[in-house]
Amino acid sequence: MKIDDWLLEILACPACKAPLRAEPEADELACTGCGLIYPVRDDIPVLLVDEARKP
């Protein structure tokens, strides 16, 4: 997964607006607030609440 650090700094969870952290081993972004986990497909974060899974 290739997400630039500057982009990761501005991305936020669409559900609770908390910052996201990269989970590179699973190609996912995890919310530091509500815990939703968003997939990253072809190096593009899919920040749709309907696509997220709960931990």
Report the pLDDT value the prediction gives residue 1, as an integer from 0 to 100.
Answer: 72
Q: What is the pLDDT of residues 1-55, one digit of tens each?
A: 788 889 999 999 999 999 999 987 889 999 999 999 999 999 899 999 999 999 8
By residue range, what is the domain housing residue 30? 5-51
- Domain with residue 33: its CATH number is 2.20.25.10
pLDDT at 28: 94
Per-residue model confidence (pLDDT) at position 2: 81
Please give the tally of structural domains in the chain: 1
Give the pLDDT of residue 25.
85
Rounded to whole angstroms, the Cα distance separating 15 from 55 reads 15
**Cα dihedral sign for 7, 13, 17, 23?**
negative
Residue written as token pair 């899919």: 46
